[in-house]
Structure 1
Amino acid sequence: MNEFAHTDSAENARLLKARRLAAYVWERGVTGAELLNLPMAQRRKLAREADTNPPSSEETWQVVGRLLDEKDAWAARHPEHPAARRTHLDEKILWVKPPVKPWTPGDR
């Protein structure tokens, strides 16, 4: 059994990784729920794009999701603060596809 996974050092390393990932993902406008709904392969690709080794545990991804939710709430309370501005919103579509509107006979 890997005892390192339950040490303070491991917890600190997970938190640092989660913060790096959350910062990258938040800039792209991806919410915590959207991130956690992505397939694991997509999450790993996202982590590599963030120059971070993909987390090996779901626990770390859950922390990233929580950090994203916290940052969203903070940004909503401080909309004029420079840190509340996302600089890469145009990249969200690379990770989270908008829902496809079903075609109806009246559409042209």
Structure 2
Amino acid sequence: MASEPDFAHNDMASRSRREKAVGLAKFAWDRDISSAELLEMPDDRLRKLARAAGANPPSTRETWTIAAGLLDEKAVWAAAHPDRPEARREHPDEKIMWVKKPIEPWL
């Protein structure tokens, strides 16, 4: 009995996953969303974020994990090159739409 091919992890799928992750990471970067914040988002918010970024929502968390890694790489690069235009975030004011600060309890 032959084993089924793994279409989800062939070269073409990996390239497609990375391409989608790059677009998602760019969208998150421009909104000042960190890798940790991205990975903490619930699935329904991630789906909305993907649609807002112009992508079909990934079917697994694997693409989001790649996007988070890209955000970490970009943060290191941006810290080393703060004067480069690519280090700037275009829409940091939109972060609140995606990442909500926890409500502090009344004392």
The normalised TM-score by structure 2 is 0.92
Q: What does the per-residue CA deviation read over 1:50-94, in whole Å, with 9 as the maximum and x for residues that have no partner?
A: 000011111111001111111111111111110000010000000
Q: Percent identity?
A: 53
**Residue 18 of structure 2: which of 10, 15, 20 is its match?**
15
Structure 2 residue runs of 5 or longer lacking an equivalent are none
Residue type of the alignment partner of 2:8: A
Q: What does the per-residue CA deviation read over 1:17-61, in whole Å, with 9 as the maximum and x for residues that have no partner?
A: 000100011100000000000001100100000000011111111
Task: After TM superposition, list the pairs within 5 Å mapping 1:1-80 onto structure 2.
Answer: 3-80=6-83
Residues 1:84 and 1:59: Cα distance change in structure 2 (over 3 Å): same
Partner in structure 1 of residue 92 of structure 2: 89
C-alpha displacement of 1:98:
1.6
The normalised TM-score by structure 1 is 0.91
Structure 1 residue runs of 5 or longer lacking an equivalent are none
Tell me the number of residue pairs that the alignment of Structure 1 and Structure 2 aligns: 104
Residues 1:2 and 1:98: Cα distance change in structure 2 (over 3 Å): farther
Residues 1:2 and 1:61: Cα distance change in structure 2 (over 3 Å): farther
